[in-house]
Amino acid sequence: MLFWTLYFTLITAIILPATQAHRKLTPDYYDDMCPQALPTIRVMVETVVGIQPRMGASLVRLHFHDCFAKGCDGSVLLDDSPTMVGEKTAAPNNNSLRGFELVDEIKATLNVACFGNVVSCADILAIAARDSVVALGGSSYEVLLGRRDSTCASKAEANSNIPSPFSNLTEMLSKFQAHNLSAEDLVLLSGAHTLGFAKCKTLRNRIYNETSTIDPDFARSLKAKCHRAAGGSDDEELSPLDETPAAFDAGYYQMLTQRKGMLHTDQELFKGDGSEIDRLVKRYAEDAGAFKEGFGEAMVRLGSIKPLTGREGEVRENCRVVNRR
């Protein structure tokens, strides 16, 4: 018995590290398989974001929404099929997520540049998010790679796991903690709202709510664009999430300290009660460098949520559909 115990202990010691290493994401995953992969994605993202800065915010959001439903596995990119309802029509995503066509173009280009189907759609999302941040003035960070793509999606998980713009702080913390993300990660990743825009239909509850803590003058300026009645032509009207929506800066946090957060979830991060989360918001409002560095670190943690690796999943040839068997 002792012999077999020692034997299996030795075998486990030899095999387990190799298995763990095989599953571990690494920044140099494509260095040998396709050295042109990352430069190709960077050039394509920089070109599009240079013309349409809003696309940068959309690519960051696409990666976030992918990771919060089923993990960072590219499932958000799957179209509905006769056997599956995907995540695109989930409440947080429907008529809201953008960038699918650009991801298609990147994937098709990589299939040529890499002489085959090498780079996963999940990795494309992670890399494109980082390149978008850098293109708009944020700090670069090392993206961990080696994810594989899911062969299914879950509308139910997208509906239940992705924070709503109407969530309170307790709800947001709970959803982040479920993915082993901290309160500081919540504050840092919410800082992505320094980019992009929000639609009137997501703002009305905040600007017309009599119990809202929103700055009155700021609310009046928004009411001029977003009328009280829902379902009108202004539902899709866009307002910038901070005063510099095409610049990755600390403006988002500065607006929160002035009670000018655009979304209910934004202002939930700063209540003026001296909490630890309040202190984090103040720190990043005053130190853009700390925000940019911390954001990159938080994005790496986000990108490490339940990745498929090794023989799990597949590398999709077309990001919208699973490979033919």
Residues making up the chain, counted from first to last: 325
Comparing C-alpha atoms, which of 198, 155, 187 is closest to residue 271?
Answer: 187
CA 80/CA 101 separation, integer angstroms? 16
Mutual orientation of helices 288-302 and 121-135 as an angle, nearest 10°? 180
Q: What tokens does 303 get?
A: 């990108």
**Residue 324 carries which side chain, given as an amino acid letter?**
R
Comparing C-alpha atoms, which of 106, 100, 119, 166 is closest to residue 320?
Answer: 100
**Residue 259 carries which side chain, given as an amino acid letter?**
R
Which residue stretches of 199-258 are H helix? 200-207, 216-223, 251-257
- 240 forms beta bridges with 197
Residue with tokens 């293109």: 135
Buried b (16+ CB within 10 A) or exposed e, 77-98: bbeeeeeeebbbebebbeeebb
Mutual orientation of helices 121-135 and 54-68 as an angle, nearest 10°? 140
CA 151/CA 153 separation, integer angstroms? 7
As annotated, the active-site residues are: 65
179 Cβ neighbours under 8 A, 6+ residues apart: 67, 68, 302, 305
Helix (H) or strand (E) holding 190: helix 183-190
Query: What does the DSSP 8-state code read for residue 164?
Result: P
Q: Is 308 helix (H, G, I), strand (E, B) or coil?
A: strand
